[in-house]
Structure 1
Amino acid sequence: HVEVEDFCGLESSLHENMKKCQKNPDHKDFIPVTEFNIGCLPDRYQDNDLADLIRALAALTVRIKVNKLSPERPKVRYPPIPRYDKRGREKSITGSGWVARVDTYSNGKLCSCRECKNSPTACKQWGRVEIFTVTHVVYDEFEAQHTICHLNYDCDSADLGQLPALSEVGAIQSDFHEDLTHLLCFTHDMELLDKLQNSLDIYRKLQPLVMDKYSDDSESEEDLTVVVSHPHGCSKHVTVGELREYHFKDDEGDLGQYKYTTPTCQGSSGGPVFILGRGVWYDEHPHSGTKAGLNHGAVFYT
């Protein structure tokens, strides 16, 4: 079961969906990102570097909304079904994702976004942001053209219209079998690019430090597993749990999948999954769904 949130009409209905949630009725284990602190971690993981790493990952996490679904979207495995409500209105879906790379150009190279291609004065200061999510959130090029990624949606009182957003999607690479999608977005907001790059730098600096600290953690047989996401399309939350299972998905042992206890909900699909002690690169572990009482990530190359 994949975990996107679908809705029609006003986005305020998403808050009602959250209240009606059956998987996590009170969401007591979902920590609002503004309230996350070192005390939210289990005792043996209450480390300042680890807490700062999670904050950096949270700063890179985005809320993804697909306003128009592709006619090519498979009906098996890929919600929503039905695609229309009782009034005949087409549904939108929300999920999560995160910024995995930032490229900034200020040396005179002209921006190649749609706006600049059609302008006699193309922008000379611009950047590209690569966002990772899962394919059942953004399936193909058609959906990418109708997608908006909101950053810094950290509290429900925030006005989405006033938050930084990336909607100029220039390219998409998706893998149906691995359930992984890369979006390439353009922006002229140099301040936003600097902030995202700073968060990436902090994450990349802290990741190996934290790995080294816990490389000999013999107290636990289960690795700390953290998910950052936008449950039900609402504001950003952090959840904490344990890795429980790891499965190879092919005979050669090239493809694997993690299963964990970390709480997730509809809207969490595509959010980054940080598993302590399981590799330096976090960009291959988006949350993908839930099955048999455990939540799981997308399939990835081992």
Structure 2
Amino acid sequence: KVAKKLKILKKNIVKIKKNQTQDCRESRQALPEGCKVNASNHQKLIPVKEFLLFHLPSRYQHVEMWNLIQSLVDITVKLEVSGMSEERKKFKTNKQSLEMVLNQTQVKGVSKNVDDESNSSNTMSVFAANDVAFGSGKVDDVFIRTDRDGPCPCPKQCPECGEIRVFTSAQLMYDDDDAKHFLCTFFYDDDEQVDQLKYARGDRIVLRDLEKDLCMFICVTCDVELIRKLEGMLDKFEQSWEDAFDRYAGSLKWRNERLTVIVSHPYGLKKHIALGKTSEVGDSERGIHYDTPTCEGSVGAYVLIPDFDVKDEV
């Protein structure tokens, strides 16, 4: 009787997984068609609300890794700019792509020409339609400003306002004036809850490195509650990293799995999660190449490398 019950249970589990996979495929049909380079990637992008433990490699199917990815989802940002200025057109035609790795506090990257590898799955590019460009980013830090720190930059002149530092790609913006045209959208996880979205306007660039294709910029808001909410989410991300470290350090060699995780807003739509692997890191260059699928609008997305081996230099 026990064996029979186990057999029925296994069949039900397989059925559930099959249905969940089918649901994910149906939801991904909403991604735009006609993208010849990235068409196959659409089936590999999983909406964040449908991401399940079984999507992860078996050795990472633990609540600690799940929480780490979900905490990254929380602080992933959609970036949008209207109008394609002449300067951005010039920069965009350079066809530089980013192979960027953010490993907790380390930042490493390699710039290359798309023409050299036009079909590469790890090429992220800016998506522009009707003179609107989309990208992705990650909240890096938040600050609350008062009158003592200077006047509020918004027209409301609030006595208290907030600044949000966002990490993205240098492909998206080139100077402070350009940064002011960007709109940051937070918490766009689900099309059913768009009333819960929050917004902030770009203000200035604090770091832009063309060689590594890295950019940190500030966006401002009078919504202090948004700042406090993001602050809690950043704390959660840090704690989730520590929990995952405790779980995997010493028991799982990242170089044996080479897992990479990307959370982004493909085509400016709701957040999706993509899983992939990195190739070997060369001795001469500290850049990392990965096969994690991306689409238009994924430029600037944070690339999570769950390497908890303290001996690694990745």
Distance 1:184 1:219 in 2: 33
User: 3-state SS of the aligned residue for 1:244?
Assistant: coil
Alignment partner of 1:21 is 2:55 = no
Structure 1 residues 49, 183: CA separation in 2 closer, same or farther (over 3 Å shift)? same
Alignment partner of 1:262 is 2:292 = yes
* 1:63 equivalent in structure 2: 78
Distance 2:153 2:266 in 1: 31
Counterpart residue identity of residue 32, structure 2:
M
**Bigger fraction of residues in helix:** 2
Structure 1 residues 145, 77: CA separation in 2 closer, same or farther (over 3 Å shift)? same
Q: TM-score, with normalisation over the residues of structure 1?
A: 0.73
Alignment partner of 1:125 is 2:143 = no
Counterpart residue identity of residue 77, structure 1:
K
Alignment partner of 1:76 is 2:100 = no
Structure 1 residues 45, 123: CA separation in 2 closer, same or farther (over 3 Å shift)? same
Counterpart residue identity of residue 151, structure 2:
S
Pairing partner for 2:151 from 107, 112, 120: 112
Distance 1:61 1:26 in 2: 20
Deviation of the 1:141 alpha carbon: 2.2
* 2:103 equivalent in structure 1: none
Contact 2:41 2:295 in 1 (8 A): no
Distance 2:309 2:237 in 1: 14
Distance 1:113 1:78 in 2: 36
Question: What is the percent sequence identity of the aligned residues?
Answer: 32
Deviation of the 1:219 alpha carbon: 8.5
* 1:33 equivalent in structure 2: 48
Structure 1 residues 39, 112: CA separation in 2 closer, same or farther (over 3 Å shift)? farther
* 1:286 equivalent in structure 2: none
* 2:181 equivalent in structure 1: 146
Distance 1:218 1:172 in 2: 36
* 1:222 equivalent in structure 2: 257
Structure 1 residues 72, 220: CA separation in 2 closer, same or farther (over 3 Å shift)? closer
Alignment partner of 1:200 is 2:234 = yes
Deviation of the 1:97 alpha carbon: 0.4
Distance 2:161 2:272 in 1: 30
Superposed, which structure 2 residues align to 1:181-196 within 5 Å?
A: 181-196=215-230
Deviation of the 1:218 alpha carbon: 4.2
Deviation of the 1:69 alpha carbon: 3.5
Distance 2:216 2:193 in 1: 27
* 2:63 equivalent in structure 1: 48
Counterpart residue identity of residue 209, structure 1:
D
Distance 1:66 1:221 in 2: 40
Counterpart residue identity of residue 45, structure 2:
F
Counterpart residue identity of residue 102, structure 1:
V
Structure 1 residues 197, 279: CA separation in 2 closer, same or farther (over 3 Å shift)? farther
Deviation of the 1:142 alpha carbon: 3.0
User: 3-state SS of the aligned residue for 1:257?
Assistant: coil
Q: Which shows bigger deviation, 215-224 or 226-235?
A: 215-224
Structure 1 residues 142, 68: CA separation in 2 closer, same or farther (over 3 Å shift)? farther
Deviations, residues 136-172 of structure 1 (Å, cap 9, x unaligned): 122322321111111111124554x862111142444
User: 3-state SS of the aligned residue for 2:260?
Assistant: strand
Distance 2:192 2:178 in 1: 28
Structure 1 residues 20, 178: CA separation in 2 closer, same or farther (over 3 Å shift)? same
Counterpart residue identity of residue 134, structure 2:
T
* 2:25 equivalent in structure 1: none
* 1:293 equivalent in structure 2: none
* 2:131 equivalent in structure 1: 91
